[in-house]
Structure 1
């Protein structure tokens, strides 16, 4: 529209060139129309990067209209030579600078908006790209979390660390339960001996297969996410992949899945889907509008220039017509030379890129990803046709089709190792590393399935520059430790290192809660740490149960809260053990079930549980399952009676004394009981030593009789 207005203005001026007054009036009229269009568009057009701004096509039309209007106006007050030699070129340069400023203004505003610290000032994106804004917001939140965790929070802890609660009966504080739920990767990781060992191995070893062992809830998955996903311990050059082991295991299918995940991590999401990203309709529409506006402006200038230079164009056309053959020959020679030069440049460029393209891991990964997702077919055909004058025709055709066979398992292994070797070489040159984590192997059906999985998986271990982290069960740690007595297992032969994730110590448990913004008095922290067995997941759950009980019953009394906590825990444990023993068919199972039922009915008091322990049945020789269940229940009741003696009995007189004794003894007694709780399931007999040590050294009580 603006280009048409400018062209109409210039044509009108040319038609009334002999009458300057009429030309001036027409130019002013065109200027008024352009300004009216500008005011109309100013009210209707709102761009995201500016409060208001006209499209460049309208601005160009206004500038051209002003330029055309100024020529007849200035012709009445200045000489023709001054107008042509100075004023009109100056006006043209000023108009071009003005258009350049208008064109650059949105980009300057967008750059300033992108540099804004407030996300509300960031430029809006079309719906098709809304996920990019969400990604930027999430990156900003992660950055703020890391700054708060590693920069601000240590300063606050050093000044606002909760002082020791010296009151006789410490009160349980109000806690925001949302801080205890969910996975908070960036601000809840506590450094342990296991994480330090893994970080050392990944940094010092060229290649390593590391098993991560520990009980469920000990933090194996959190440790895997720490080193197998991008975060504070990684760089942009690292290739980090974390996959979950399947519960129903098929070696070929899992290798294809792992192979595809590695390819996707290199090629990106678009290549992972096996197709090129489709065109953005919004961007295509905007590009069309910009091209249309530019063509309109070019057409306007062409019409204006053609009209002004019409005599010269006619003379040039006549000259060209007189030497048309020579010009065509010269044009053909020019095009031929240009094509040859272009071909030479492309060939040289391709030769320079050929060595790099062979070693381009991204291209190789994209090819492998297509072969993993699709079965490729190649068809070649050849046809010949002979026509005779009388209308006879003879034809012959052949077709050859090649279909790629499905890769066998050894071929998959060979190609996967080749790709990993190529990736590791590229990453090493850039200072990066390749870390592949396989989580939840400990959740396979049985130990034999886990060993078969490792036997099939270890064929891809040992590639220089590649590190594998595999989460395994505690049985793997036991089997790995038994290789010193010549008992070889799949766990021993598959791993270079086996790192044990131990239960949290008292200080580590305190730090975990503080990282989530939860501060507990020492007495509550001791009780929760012992009942959780030092497992991070159970620690958070225990604290949440205490906070929930405080809110529901509106009480902050420690003996009451701890008594309810132990009572709920005992109900869950004894009920599960009773069902397990009742399902056994051994001769001792009925007596064991009756004794566990009597323990469930006993009051939740230390004296009552100690009396139940004195009436425990004798373990029968040869009945492993029933004997193990009895041993676990006895150890649990002994630990529970000791905790009741410490935190829930004689609240009016003995509690402050016991808490002072426990505080003066340091963290060792609490860590001993925490380790004892963690051993209840696998080593119940080892619990009694810690229980009796605590009762004798801290509480000053008689030790409980150990089972015979």
Structure 2
């Protein structure tokens, strides 16, 4: 079953399951699914890969009797069968020996030439196939004619009977192979059927249904302050792209890759903004155009403690394995052909076979250098002469130097990009922002950028916001290694309310707006935290009021704030007395959050910067909980996106910059006259 058929069946099944929804516009929903097709199919990429592997296994077992002896069958079809008619005809017709030799040697010469051509590429295999078909047909006709002449039968009657017998035998053989397959074929077919069902289910449940739910939800709002939802199974799908919402940064990055013929692009943004999720979605094809072929993507993580040569070795090995995995998905027979030069009857693109062989050589050359040795000997005496020659090879562990390794890697990547065109080769280096933007990050980039700028290859690298700042300074004449390494820098921002709403609507059906806003406020615009907050909400019983759900989340967060701060104080290396602050954290109470925040701020007035920062972080996070409790009450009849965006922004700062966080919370509360504002934030 093809990808198109699986997708269409999933769309039809999803539309049939949603017929009772109002409003229901079948054509609009089908169009939305078609537009989101790359994202949909990316959800089930692993299941698709598994199905392709199982189908390749089925075909392999069906032709195993020929695959086990490829040289024999090549000689049989290309040389023996085309040559045999000339030999048989010469013997039966009793032609002159010169004519007999001419016919036989000519047929043998053409057969050997065709055998040589069969190993020279796709066109040579097509010539060999045609020659073997002609030779097989000629053999049947010659044998039929010869038997007819020897038996004294009417020549054409026997030929007809012989031809029908041959066709019947072939049909019977196919029927027997289909009806009575071997045990290995049966097991392979059963495994392929299971893989197909899993693929279809993944496309439907992880791809099409979330897209259609989001499309329906985008045109309606669900008011209410009681927890109601129809289905929240999508929140339990760990590890899938259902936790990633397509964002403008991803679309811009995809547009750059689509328009440019290679390049180096940085993905910048604060920690937690979703850079890794975006790159993972890009790897799985979520940002492709509809019906665009999959990219070959190599994804590695930048090491915190790195050695340039070891990192390039790791990148080289990952690239080789990615090529093998990609070719196995797109051209399942190529890897088998790469290992068996004589499987000429099983078609696979020469480019794919070349890529597989290059990847296998690359994996071997990473660890070893092949050395060849030869030895000749001779002996002469009265009884005759003896001459011998011995040839062998061994694998020596002489490691390549770093420049040699870089050159080998660039050659391999360039060859893969050319061989797989129009499919694109993308190399992703994630989590480089863990190194930061200081001297260590600059040194790392300076040493590995030797592998950049390969024609036809795209490098996508996640960097910190400080690196983006250095890149932008090049516009005023302050050049840096970041500016010289990247063609473009794309910024990833936190989710806003609209994007968060779209993400939750893919995972939860018919979720009220007030609860979406509550999950978003607690997440601070971080996609992973948004899913966690939504899971915490749906764990409550349906029908629970908004204020009660908010109180549960507040209590859980309050407990984490106090415990983590107390643990950090206990582990802090300080000579100052923090007993008072620890006593406040231990004797906590959630009833008066603002009073508790004041107690935290007053519990320590020392000069230790680390302790003061812990104190202020705890105070800001507690103040955030107080504002959330004031805002998310059972009287909340309308969610204003700008207000919720402001609250989520304050949440982010409360966890990283407490002074700014408290100031933002003060502004938010001041805009709500009925809600008391917190006191001036500490300076």
TM-score where L is the length of structure 1: 0.62
Q: 1:140 to 1:374 in 2, by over 3 A?
A: farther
- 1:701 counterpart SS class: coil
**Secondary structure in structure 1 of the residue aligned to 2:376:** strand
Among 534, 542, 567, the residue aligned to 1:543: 534
Match of 1:566 among 554, 563, 576: 554
Of the structure 1 ranges 687-696 and 135-144, higher mean CA displacement relative to structure 2 is found in 135-144
Residue aligning to 1:604: 590
- CA-CA distance at 1:599 after TM superposition: 5.0
- Cα 1:615/1:223, change in 2 over 3 Å: closer
In structure 2, runs of 5+ residues without a counterpart are: 1-57, 60-152, 329-333, 344-348
> d(CA) in 2 for partners of 1:85 and 1:210?
75
1:673 aligns to what? Answer: 647
Q: How does 1:304-703 map to 2 (within 5 A)?
A: 363-388=357-382, 405-427=398-420, 430-443=421-434, 450-477=441-468, 480=471, 491-548=482-539, 550-551=540-541, 556-586=544-574, 590-591=577-578, 594-595=580-581, 597-599=583-585, 601-605=587-591, 607-610=592-595, 612-613=597-598, 616-617=601-602, 623-647=608-632, 655-656=634-635, 659-660=636-637, 663=639, 666-703=640-677
Q: How many angstroms does 1:570 deviate by?
A: 1.4
Do the aligned partners of residues 212 and 130 (structure 1) sit closer, same or farther apart at CA in structure 2, a change above 3 Å counting?
farther
Report the CA distance shift for 1:180/1:596 in structure 2 as closer, same or farther (over 3 A): farther
User: In the alignment, is the contact (CA less than 8 A) between 1:212 and 1:499 conserved in 2?
Assistant: yes
Residue deviations 1:477-533 (CA, integer Å, cap 9, x gap): 455556678776654554333333222111211111111234321222222111111
1:228 Cα deviation from its structure 2 partner: 2.2
Task: For residues 282-332 of structure 1, give each alpha carbon's deviation from its aligned partner in whole angstroms, at most 9, with x where no partner exists.
Answer: xx9xxxxxxxxxxxxxxxxxxxxxxxxxxxxxxxxxxxxxxxxxxxxxxxx
Q: Once the 2 structures are TM-superposed, how far is the Cα of residue 207 of structure 1 from its aligned partner?
A: 2.9
| 2:11 alignment counterpart | none
> Map of 1:141-156 to 2, 5 A cutoff?
141-144=201-204, 148-149=208-209, 152-153=212-213, 156=216
User: Does 2:320 align with 1:263?
Assistant: yes
- Structure with bigger gyration radius: 1
Q: Is the 8 A contact 1:636 1:680 kept in 2?
A: yes
The alpha-carbon distance between structure 1 residues 572 and 627, as it changes in their structure 2 partners (threshold 3 A), is same
476-485 or 693-702: which moved more?
476-485
d(CA) in 1 for partners of 2:670, 2:506:
35
- In the TM superposition, residue 586 of structure 1 has moved relative to its aligned partner by 4.4
TM-score, structure 2 normalization: 0.64
Shift in CA distance, 564/158, structure 1 to aligned 2, threshold 3 Å: closer
Q: Distance in 1 between matches of 2:159 and 2:217?
A: 69
Deviates more, 1:222-231 or 1:481-490: 481-490
Correspondence 1:194 to 2:194:
no
5+ residue gaps in structure 1? 1-47, 50-82, 114-122, 285-352, 649-654
Matched with 2:227 is: 171
Distance in 2 of aligned mates of 1:360 and 1:398: 30
The alpha-carbon deviation at position 246 of structure 1 amounts to: 3.9
CA apart distance, 1:130: 6.6
Distance in 2 between residues matched to 1:487 and 1:449, nearest whole Å: 19
Q: Distance in 2 between matches of 1:486 and 1:577?
A: 44
Aligned pair count reads: 516
Q: Is the 8 A contact 2:518 2:550 kept in 1?
A: yes
Distance 1:239 1:222 in 2: 18
Distance 2:196 2:472 in 1: 47
SS of the residue corresponding to residue 603 of structure 1 reads coil
Equivalent residue in structure 1 for 2:260, among 187, 205, 217:
205
Deviation by residue 1:515-562 (Cα, 9 ceiling, x = unmatched): 1234321222222111111111111111212222x25xx871322221
- 1:198 counterpart SS class: helix
Q: In 2 relative to 1, CA 527–509 (structure 1 residues): closer, same or farther, beyond 3 Å?
A: same
The aligned counterpart of 2:139 is none
Distance change >3 Å, CA 570–CA 508, structure 1 → 2? same
